[in-house]
Structure 1
Amino acid sequence: MNRLLPLSVKRSTLNVERSPSASSPSSFGLQNSAFRLFRPALLACALVIGHWSLVTPAQLRAAEVSLSSATIEDFNKAFSAGTLTSEKLVSLYLARVKAYEPALNAVITLNPKALDEARSLDAERKSGKVRSPLHGIPVVYKDNYNTFDLPTTGGFYGLKGSIPPKDATITARLREAGAIIIAKVNTSEFASGGAMSSLIGQSHNPHALDRTPSGSSGGTGVAIAAYYSPLGYGSDTGGSIRGPSTSNGIVGLKPTHGLLSRAGIIPLALSFDTGGPMTRSVYDIAISLNVTAGEPDPLDDATKKSVGKVAKDYTAFLKKDSLKGARIGVARDFMGQDPEVDVTIESALAVMKAQGAILVDIKYPPILLGMRGDLYNAIRRPEFKAQIADYLATLKPGYPKNIDDLLALSEKISAVSPEGYWPNPGRLALYRQEAKAAPLTDPAYLAAKTHGLAFVRDTMQALLDSQKLDAIVYPTSPRRPALIGEVPAAGADARPSATNYANLSGFPDLIVPAGFTSNGLPIGISFFGTAFSEPKLLALGYAYEQASKNIRVPKHAPALPGETITY
């Protein structure tokens, strides 16, 4: 059974007066009209309560927060205050989708029942039933998450209209918690290659339309950055949550392998695959884990590793002073490729040091740096060839059944078709490589999986243990987001990012915005730790986030009128 936490509302100020439309009791149990009647007496009492400190008019006004900076906690406060409904919240996000699509080209399918579902959940709330803190909260999914009532395409035109038999486990847990699917969003085709699909083409970075939002969870990255919803889900096999998180200037988590179920997510390589949340705040990452992490899923054996290692409440670790005394390893192996990225990361390190962190420069062993790509591909390509066939076998008749079918269909699209399908030459090249991959009984594959991954995992653990590190930090992408279609220069660094060490080891990696280049492009910093260290990483990331405040409204998705939440 999924774990649903009771809704808790924390108040840092005395918010006892609400807007005239509010009908719920204030924190003193008084209706607004009663509060206005007794306000002079309460002000006088405030001189006595709280060590003779006078409550200021600002503290007595209803709190206001913009939609772009509101957390799920803010939404729940507004729900409780009666100043917001789920129907209104969904309407605000749908208005943003209408305003910025198809320019950003992030959305594959809108949920036509989103408003109806919101109204139903509002009725539940009014009757006294609140399922979880995600009750009535909109969410977007990368279009490789199965949804029983909406198509799941993997971004491949050959799966257009495919309705899977049931929800992915993560999807089902979020629905049970009261989350509302607002849209299925673009993905690199079958979660690999550039940030485009043959189904709808290229997605665009809302901070700069000529820049990549990165892949493969690029549609989710764009949707969260442009705040089409407060919560989105992507998948990560070699950096596919973390690249889009940094390129779009948002927060993202690649969880420990086995913390979240992958059942019902189209596989790329199950040795590495994991689903994970993408948001505009560390708090929203934590609150989402309270719903999606839980008891092992019988449909995903990897989740057995999480037994006894799932936190009761991930938000409990979010403290602003968490960096004080923390030992942070600085992986400079992954710097030196873009001077503005390096300057921004150095500034981030200075913030951590000012918060009391102890910074320790570390070096990755040369053998680890040299084997990254070959080991990854030795496992990734054979697994996709076998595992995509297993997934396709679950679909209705009329859809492709194996890698050979995918390759043949991909080769048919050499120009934009009358139906609007796009050629995807980068993914086509990968299909050709995957079609030639060895079977999963091949000795080289088995050796790579059995011994290679154990070597990486043990080496990374030793690196963390030997320096008594709480986390390792590095620039998630050592270069600013590339121009769409840009080809790397000859002789470019063969190891541009450290991201897939988290996949090779199975360890978690949290991305937090670190700042921007001089031309407004986002830069992210990774907090990488040992298996099931999400509570520690969230604590460190939250402390850094609160000290730095680097989230920004994208240039090409500005605020619309009326996007203010009050409570």
Structure 2
Amino acid sequence: MNRPMCRTVSDAVHVLDAIVGYDNNDPQATRSASKYIPHGGYSQFLKPNGLKGKRLGIVRDLFFQFSDKLVKHTSEQNLQTLRQNGAVLVDNLEIANLNTILDYILRGELTALLAEFKISLNDYLRELVASPVRSLAAVIAFNKKFSDVEKIKEFGQDLFLASEATNGIGDLEKKALRNLTKLTRNGFEKLMEQNKLDAIVTAGANVASVLAIGGFPGITVPAAYDRKGVPIGICFGGLKGFEPRLIEIAYAFEQATKTNEELNEVMDRWIRTMLKRLEDFSRNEFEKLMKEHELNVIITPSSRFFPILAIGGYPGITVPAGYGSDGMPFGIRIGGLKGTEPALSLSLLKQDMLSRKLQRFAGHLLLVVMFITKVNYSNSDRCLSRLQLWKFGKVDLACSSQ
């Protein structure tokens, strides 16, 4: 199942309620998981006293090792908060073969992942209604052809290549899957059952690997901040079907610490600052440019122009413009100031001409337009006569011939 990422536990739980359930497009994965969904949904487990009586296992090895003394001290305070709110802590537990579990090569997950990724991606791409890319092999070829744009030099595609070299689920992959099952059974499951735990507790989210190989649920809640203001999470993980318990634990911890309220205040201040910057940019750059040159609309072949429109709430629309030599469709984007929707609509009437004669668009529009060409950072001296919007490209003016 997917995992929502939200500002509060309550928000995450309500999103979870909306996305869980059986999926006809993925019956194998969702059929077994659906039996764990409680009648009435998950929001009923948002209880402020949810920590009372819960048995929580503390796994310190590899998960409670901090170089920052402040974070270490705060983490210990969080454990004390769990106790004060009724939880029973079973401390200093160890998960068998933890080093192997945390190494995705040693545990065999990479072997299984490479084979399953190719199978699943090919199935998905084949089902697309309209796409020139229909397989992992085609994705690899696309990345090679457009290596500069896809930044292959920086990021590579070694995993894609390794996955493409696989031939389905064979003996090697089955052995890897059996090893994952064995590690899960003798490690996390055994720890939970022997100690009769409702959840394990770790600092940070590194325990996600332990949970993932067995398909176990987990939830991370902000619990502390380092000296730079970066939040540190506390993670609660449990066995299959333990989502209700984890929600009770996480929600009660969140309510007891109020750490999330502090985080929200930080985020609110950051958002207000960013909105002010965006507002200033809209007023001092984009709106000023449009008014100075008496422009009706702006036309650009790049989708990177959309953020410029979005930050000011300006209207914009994409018009089909043709196909590249590789068969990939491309479009042009038309945008303007607030209230210029009629001008945008007029532009749409000319979209056939734009598709046929994109390079001569200025002579076909009953508008004064601006065209943003390919990025050219080297021509910094020319920026005196051309506005460079957030380095999205140099700007040339093109006037209507009518």
Same fold (TM over 0.5): yes
Note the alpha carbon deviations across 1:328-369, whole angstroms, 9 max, x for none: 111112221442543332222121122122211244344242
Pair 1:410 & 2:143 matched: yes
Q: Identify the match of residue 506 of structure 1 among 189, 212, 215.
A: 215
* Structure 1 Cα separation of the partners of residues 35 and 139 of structure 2: 40
Aligned residue number for residue 53 of structure 2: 325
The ranges of structure 1 where at least 4 consecutive aligned residues each deviate by more than 6 angstroms after the TM superposition are none
Aligned residue number for residue 347 of structure 1: 77
Aligned residue number for residue 105 of structure 1: none
* Structure 2 Cα separation of the partners of residues 357 and 303 of structure 1: 32
Aligned residue number for residue 529 of structure 1: 238
Q: Does the Cα contact within 8 Å between 1:440 and 1:446 map onto a contact in 2?
A: no
Amino acid at match of 2:83: K
Amino acid at match of 1:359: L
Pair 1:558 & 2:272 matched: yes
Q: Does the Cα contact within 8 Å between 2:95 and 2:188 map onto a contact in 1?
A: no
- Give the SS at the match of 2:113: helix
Q: Does the Cα contact within 8 Å between 1:290 and 1:314 map onto a contact in 2?
A: yes
Aligned residue number for residue 565 of structure 1: none
Note the alpha carbon deviations across 1:239-262, whole angstroms, 9 max, x for none: xxxxxxxxxxxxxxxxxxxxxxxx
Structure 1 residues 525 and 390: CA distance shift in structure 2, 3 A: same
Structure 1 residues 390 and 292: CA distance shift in structure 2, 3 A: same
Pair 1:302 & 2:29 matched: yes
1:295, CA displacement in angstroms? 4.8
Greater Rg by CA: 2
1:398, CA displacement in angstroms? 4.4
Q: Identify the match of residue 291 of structure 1 among 18, 32, 47.
A: 18
1:453, CA displacement in angstroms? 2.2
Name which of structure 1's ranges 441-450 and 524-533 shifts more when overlaid on structure 2: 441-450
Structure 1 residues 391 and 453: CA distance shift in structure 2, 3 A: same
Gap regions ≥5 residues in structure 1: 1-273, 478-496, 562-567
1:402, CA displacement in angstroms? 2.2
Aligned residue number for residue 248 of structure 2: 539
Aligned counterparts, 1:244-393, within 5 A = 274-295=1-22, 297=24, 299-311=26-38, 312-333=40-61, 334-339=63-68, 340-372=70-102, 373-374=104-105, 375-393=108-126
Aligned counterparts, 1:399-548, within 5 A = 399-415=132-148, 417=149, 422-423=151-152, 425-436=154-165, 438-457=166-185, 459-477=187-205, 497-548=206-257
Structure 1 residues 337 and 296: CA distance shift in structure 2, 3 A: same
- Return the structure number with greater helix share: 2
1:301, CA displacement in angstroms? 1.8
Amino acid at match of 1:439: N
1:469, CA displacement in angstroms? 1.0
* Structure 1 Cα separation of the partners of residues 22 and 139 of structure 2: 35
- Give the SS at the match of 2:167: coil
* TM-score, reference length from structure 1: 0.43
- Give the SS at the match of 1:511: strand
Q: CA RMSD in A?
A: 2.5
1:307, CA displacement in angstroms? 4.6
Gap regions ≥5 residues in structure 2: 277-402
1:299, CA displacement in angstroms? 3.6
Aligned counterparts, 1:234-253, within 5 A = none
Amino acid at match of 1:539: E
- Give the SS at the match of 1:514: strand
1:392, CA displacement in angstroms? 1.0
1:381, CA displacement in angstroms? 1.4
- Give the SS at the match of 2:51: coil
Greater relative contact order (CA < 8 Å, ≥ 6 in sequence): 1
1:432, CA displacement in angstroms? 2.9
Amino acid at match of 2:271: A
* Structure 2 Cα separation of the partners of residues 294 and 414 of structure 1: 39
Residue-pair matches, total: 264
1:509, CA displacement in angstroms? 0.5
Amino acid at match of 2:159: L
1:527, CA displacement in angstroms? 0.6
Note the alpha carbon deviations across 1:37-77, whole angstroms, 9 max, x for none: xxxxxxxxxxxxxxxxxxxxxxxxxxxxxxxxxxxxxxxxx
* Structure 1 Cα separation of the partners of residues 137 and 71 of structure 2: 41
Q: Sequence identity of aligned pairs in percent?
A: 28
Note the alpha carbon deviations across 1:501-546, whole angstroms, 9 max, x for none: 1110110001111121111111111110010111000000000000
Aligned residue number for residue 93 of structure 1: none
Q: Does the Cα contact within 8 Å between 1:513 and 1:525 map onto a contact in 2?
A: yes
* Structure 2 Cα separation of the partners of residues 314 and 406 of structure 1: 39
* Structure 1 Cα separation of the partners of residues 60 and 140 of structure 2: 40
1:454, CA displacement in angstroms? 4.5
1:308, CA displacement in angstroms? 3.9
Amino acid at match of 2:214: S
Aligned counterparts, 1:141-160, within 5 A = none
- Give the SS at the match of 1:361: strand
* Structure 2 Cα separation of the partners of residues 397 and 519 of structure 1: 47
* Structure 1 Cα separation of the partners of residues 74 and 24 of structure 2: 41
Q: Does the Cα contact within 8 Å between 1:296 and 1:306 map onto a contact in 2?
A: no
Structure 1 residues 467 and 427: CA distance shift in structure 2, 3 A: farther
Amino acid at match of 1:301: Q
* Structure 2 Cα separation of the partners of residues 296 and 414 of structure 1: 36
* Structure 2 Cα separation of the partners of residues 290 and 398 of structure 1: 32
Aligned residue number for residue 18 of structure 1: none
* Structure 2 Cα separation of the partners of residues 365 and 319 of structure 1: 29
- Give the SS at the match of 1:558: helix
Q: Does the Cα contact within 8 Å between 2:55 and 2:90 map onto a contact in 1?
A: yes
1:427, CA displacement in angstroms? 4.9
- Give the SS at the match of 1:275: coil
Amino acid at match of 1:402: S
